[in-house]
Amino acid sequence: MDEQRIDRRSFLQRGGKAAGFAAVAVAGGFLLREESRQPFHRGGDKPLVRDLGIPGIERKLVAVRGEDPSRMTAAALDAFGGIGGFIASGDFVVIKPNVGWDRRPEQAANTNPDVVAEIVRQCIAAGAGHVLVTDVTCNDAKRCFNRSGIAAAARDAGAEVQLAEDARFREVNIGGAMLGRQLVYDAYLEADKFINVPIAKHHSLTKATLGMKNLYGILGGNRSRLHQDIHNSLADLANFLRPTLVIMDAYRILLRNGPQGGSLADVEDRKTLLACTDPVALDAYAGELFFSLTAEDMKWVGLAESRGLGSADLTGMKIEELTV
Amino acid sequence: MAVPEKRFLYLRNVRRISQAFFLLLFLVLLLQTNIDSLDRADTLPRISAPVDFFLEIDPLVAISTVLSTHTLYRNLILAVILIVGTLFLGRFFCGWVCPMGTINHMLAVLKSARMKGRRRLEQNSWKPYQRWKYGILAAMLGSALFGSVQIGLLDPIALLTRSSALVILPGYNTLTQDLYAWSLQPHAGFGDFLLTPVSWVTHALLIRAKAVVFDQTFLILLIFAGILIANRFITRFWCRGLCPLGALLGVMSKTSVLGLEKRATLCTDCNLCALHCQGGDNPKPGDTWHQTECHLCMNCVASCAESGIAFRFFPGQEESTQEVNLTRRAVVASAGAGLLAIPVLRAATHPDRPGDPSLVRPPGSLHEKEFLSRCIRCGECMNVCPNNALHPTLTQAGSEGIWTPMLMPRIGYCEPTCVLCSQVCPTGAIDEITEREKAWVPQAGKEKTEGPPIRIGTAFYDTGRCLPYAMARECIVCEEWCPTTPKSIYFEETEIETRDGEYLYLKRPHVDPELCVGCGACTYACPIKGSPAIYVTAVGETRNPRNRILLKEKNHMPS
């Protein structure tokens, strides 16, 4: 039988080709092999803490009363020796007002826009590299930022206004008693300085939305679960993100039907603005001043204090009261 | 090809420019169906662009809603422009304006083995299937006569708007959102300086800030894809064989004074005119021209080297022109089938009776019977909704109401101060309302709303799932989100005993049915994943006085 025999050259060529692809397949298989994709098999990462406070800064609370929110804000910052003590040249500053709801300024559900604008102006004057005003709103973001007046005020003052974008949430382990892994808006992970600018208003569950409650708005995802243990959740948030400064708007406060309100009958003029370097002290002070809440009512304050995030003891603290 | 040198602004090129312009305009208007203004604190966002332009010049929308409602809503009067134009000029809309026609045109001219030479010539000559569209038109108008507007299923503008808004744009949005998210990720210490400029590009590509999803749109995609793919087999099969608007314009074009003048003496039988014909109307001298099929694309004139054919006003040889060759019997049968289909469908789901309880219609919607006599399922309301709350129905409104809008509060709730869906609805199925009329939130400077609200439904608790009832835990997120003043959700403080014998005080929520407007914000925010612990049904909706529970409702509009 006259068999057709293959010559040496093509034997090597064809065999080598097959062996080469086989080697790639085997190597690739081992290289890509993984035991498990489950996060619980891979071990946790360390909880992240973003402490943006100024080390060694004086613990002080300033309460300003007046008619003009801009001037009140400026006076409060002056009482701290100007914003220069907080903001360094080139800083990425994130300012977080409460822009939770599609409500007008007079309905007192969102932070007063004049307060936000004044803070932006001062940050820019102090040489901040990038001033960002953002919030993860509840209602449609465009409406919230538009009707609260905050979009226009902050932008005119020179800030970048960012409506929360889906793509910008990152899952991070913020540790704590309740929260663990959460979707956090990326600005808070990258900021050099963070100014929390809440408004004081009523809330059915916590009795009041104050400074720490405003941190709710750094989260995405199913954040409504936080209500199941709101006090520990707020302390967890406060532990994760420690502000450079808290400036609380209480020009108008919402007494009922919070946190959204809607009716002017629920709004009271208090024409007050608070600023404080200690988020725990500020909530304790504001809760008592505006809503007559006790330490028993504001369990989150005690929990935050027990984690060393500040002190609710106001007796030893410097409180400066001004009228402008 | 022996085509002589022509001026740039030769008719065929003018037609191409016109097609590109209108396709672009369609896309721009589609993207403009969205609020993007952040400028004015004192005013509500409104849609300023004429986003319904194509739907409003569409005579099929106008004529079928006139048949079903005996009135012409708002800007549908614009359709007379196209009617008058077609009566004098013929189907110029199909060849020069229609964005659906342009998309089909672009796909049909792609070269392939199947679409060359003799085979192309053969399939570009007039075929009997081109009569189908007249049957479809007759059936649709028959349904409209019975008070049910089914035309939106196949009207090319409604179909294209729906397919783009519910399938194409959301698909594009998902792609660009993922790209943007990828470019924002911290990439293990390297590439930040590279990826920052990349993220500017990916950010510029975004059309929405959030993910947009639409329920049950697979069928919409399948139909749209089928229409596009058909062009690989038969040039503009949709336009020639199926399009009911093409059929309507074809009928109108019978009076057209613009026609094709053929000079048989000059013809060299090269067949180039027929080879490039879009309408399948036999432009070649010697063949019978079908005026009602001609899109006036000007390909025949442009490809004729001998000037053997030309479009002329009041052309000479009218004897060579073919009427729509339909028998009266076929037209009557089609119209009758369309007319009878509606009572047959209504034997299953009748708009007079409240149907699927989850069928919550957008605020301002008319009574279901009138709603179905107007809704063309264009998807504009779903496209404009800032909360992605409106979705096309599949079965919830019966087969008669497929793809009409319904609220799906688990995905998005009805934004209390928003009336955009009522603004963009081209046919008034969602009657245009103002924020003041909607009355979910007090007006500027007011303590109360000025009148009873426009309600779309009522919320109910599923206490087997609700945390304070079923799992002894605090929650009341629903109360936090309830937008009405005062809140429609109130709670009782209840002492409960836990499994471990401890006593707890919990706030257990209740709905006040006289205040609830049915917005679904509670359902949206409810932390109970899976089925929510609070859900909305249409009962209590303003538009239907029969769909009520309470004997006396003090906070209701007179009906």
Angle between helices B328-346 and B132-145 (to 10 degrees): 50
Helix (H) or strand (E) holding B504: strand B503-511
Residue of A nearest to B387 (CA): A140
CA distance A91 to A44: 31
Per-residue model confidence as pLDDT tens digits over A60-81:
999 999 999 999 999 999 999 9
Give the mean pLDDT of B74-85: 95
Gap from B221 CA to chain A (nearest CA, Å): 25
Distances (CA, A) of B551 to B254, B540, B554: 58, 11, 10
Region of poorest pLDDT, from A156-160, A223-227, B34-38, B258-262: B34-38
pLDDT at A209 over 80: yes
Q: What contacts A167, CB < 8 A, 6 or more positions away?
A: B177, B180, B181, B184
CA distance B212 to B203: 16
A contacts of B389 (beta carbons < 8 Å): none
CA distance A128 to A193: 10
Residue A227 to residue B484, Cβ atoms within 8 A: no
- Structure confidence at residue B506 as a pLDDT band (50, 70, 90): very high
Which of A139, A161, A166 is closest, CB to CB, to B209?
A: A166
- Which carries the bigger pLDDT value, residue A301 or residue A316? A301
Q: Using DSSP, state whether A234 is helix, strand or coil.
A: helix
Give the mean pLDDT of B289-313: 89
pLDDT at B1 over 50: no
B contacts of A147 (beta carbons < 8 Å): 41, 44, 417
Distances (CA, A) of B284 to B126, B257, B386: 11, 19, 52
Residue type, B141: L
Gap from A117 CA to chain B (nearest CA, Å): 14
β-pair partners for A202: A208
B contacts of A186 (beta carbons < 8 Å): 184
Please state, for a pLDDT cut of 70, what percent of chain A lies above it: 98
For residue A205 the two structure tokens come to: 């569950």
Per-residue model confidence as pLDDT tens digits over B210-229:
889 998 789 999 999 999 99
Name residues 521-540 of chain B within 8 A of A (Cβ). Answer: 525-527, 529
Distances (CA, A) of A170 to A44, A130, B346, B473: 16, 21, 50, 28
Residue B480 to residue A259, Cβ atoms within 8 A: yes
Q: Which of A238, A65, A207, A195 is nearest to B507 (CA)?
A: A207
Give the mean pLDDT of B292-298: 93
Paired sense of beta strands A318-323 and A60-65, if any = parallel
Residue B447 to residue A102, Cβ atoms within 8 A: no
Burial label for A271, CB within 10 Å (0-12, 13-18, 19+), is: middle
Q: What is the DSSP letter of B241?
A: I
CA distance B459 to B455: 11
A contacts of B534 (beta carbons < 8 Å): none
Gap from A34 CA to chain B (nearest CA, Å): 20
CA distance B210 to A167: 8
pLDDT at A274 over 50: yes
pLDDT at B411 over 60: yes
- Which carries the bigger pLDDT value, residue A23 or residue A45? A23
Per-residue model confidence as pLDDT tens digits over B173-213:
999 999 998 888 776 555 566 677 888 899 999 988 888 99
What's the pLDDT score for residue B184?
Answer: 84
* B550 in contact with A, Cβ within 8 Å: no
Per-residue model confidence as pLDDT tens digits over A99-149:
999 999 999 999 999 999 999 999 999 999 999 999 999 999 989 999 999
- Which carries the bigger pLDDT value, residue B44 or residue B81? B81
Residue A142 to residue B36, Cβ atoms within 8 A: yes
What pTM did the predictor assign?
0.92
What's the pLDDT score for residue B11?
Answer: 87
Q: To which residue do tokens 């940050």 refer?
A: A123
CA distance B541 to A56: 60
Name residues 172-191 of chain B within 8 A of A (Cβ). Answer: 177, 180-181, 184-185
Give the mean pLDDT of A292-306: 95
Gap from B196 CA to chain A (nearest CA, Å): 13
CA distance B28 to B22: 10
Paired sense of beta strands A199-203 and A207-209, if any = antiparallel
Region of poorest pLDDT, from B140-154, B314-328, B491-505, B541-555: B314-328
Residue B473 to residue A228, Cβ atoms within 8 A: yes
Residue of B nearest to A185 (CA): B184
What's the pLDDT score for residue B458?
Answer: 96
Alpha helices, DSSP H, located in B320-376 = 328-346, 368-372
Residue A104 near residue A260 (C-beta atoms within 8 A) = no
What's the pLDDT score for residue B439?
Answer: 93
Q: Which of B271, B235, B58, B255 is nearest to B129 (CA)?
A: B235
Query: How crowded is residue A217: how many other Cβ atoms within 10 Å of its Cβ?
Result: 23
CA distance A26 to B417: 61
- Structure confidence at residue B6 as a pLDDT band (50, 70, 90): low
Region of poorest pLDDT, from A18-27, B291-300, B337-346: B337-346
What is the pLDDT of chain A when averaged over all its residues?
Answer: 93
- Structure confidence at residue B354 as a pLDDT band (50, 70, 90): low
A contacts of B533 (beta carbons < 8 Å): none
B contacts of A151 (beta carbons < 8 Å): 38, 41
* B453 in contact with A, Cβ within 8 Å: no
Residue of B nearest to A152 (CA): B39
The per-residue DSSP string of B130-162 comes to GGHHHHHHHHHHHHHHTT---GGGT-HHHHHHH
Q: Which residues in A73-198 belong to E strands, given as ranges?
A: 92-97, 130-135, 160-163, 169-173, 181-185, 193-197
Per-residue model confidence as pLDDT tens digits over B355-372:
789 999 999 999 999 999
What's the pLDDT score for residue A4?
Answer: 74
B contacts of A155 (beta carbons < 8 Å): 38
Give the mean pLDDT of A161-173: 91
Residue B210 to residue A166, Cβ atoms within 8 A: yes
Gap from B24 CA to chain A (nearest CA, Å): 26
Name residues 353-412 of chain B within 8 A of A (Cβ). Answer: 386-387
Residue of A nearest to B528 (CA): A225
Q: To which residue do tokens 């001043």 refer?
A: A289
Helix (H) or strand (E) holding B503: strand B503-511
pLDDT at A39 over 80: no
Residue B442 to residue A264, Cβ atoms within 8 A: yes
Residue B466 near residue B484 (C-beta atoms within 8 A) = no
Residue A146 to residue B527, Cβ atoms within 8 A: no
Gap from A227 CA to chain B (nearest CA, Å): 5
CA distance A193 to A126: 13
Which of A164, A229, A263 is closest, CB to CB, to B448?
A: A263
Query: How crowded is residue A296: how many other Cβ atoms within 10 Å of its Cβ?
Result: 7
Domains within chain A, CATH numbers bracketed: 48-323 (3.40.50.11440)
Residue B172 near residue B31 (C-beta atoms within 8 A) = no
Q: Is B503 left (phi over 0), alpha (psi -120 to 50) or beta?
A: beta
The ipTM, to two decimals, is: 0.91
How many residue pairs from chains A and B have C-beta atoms closer than 8 A?
Answer: 125
Region of poorest pLDDT, from B144-158, B403-417, B431-445, B542-556: B542-556
The CA-based diameter of chain B, rounded to the nearest angstrom, is 105
Helix (H) or strand (E) holding A151: helix A150-156
CA distance B353 to B347: 11
Q: To which residue do tokens 């097959």 refer?
A: A18
Helix (H) or strand (E) holding A201: strand A199-203
Give the mean pLDDT of B410-438: 95
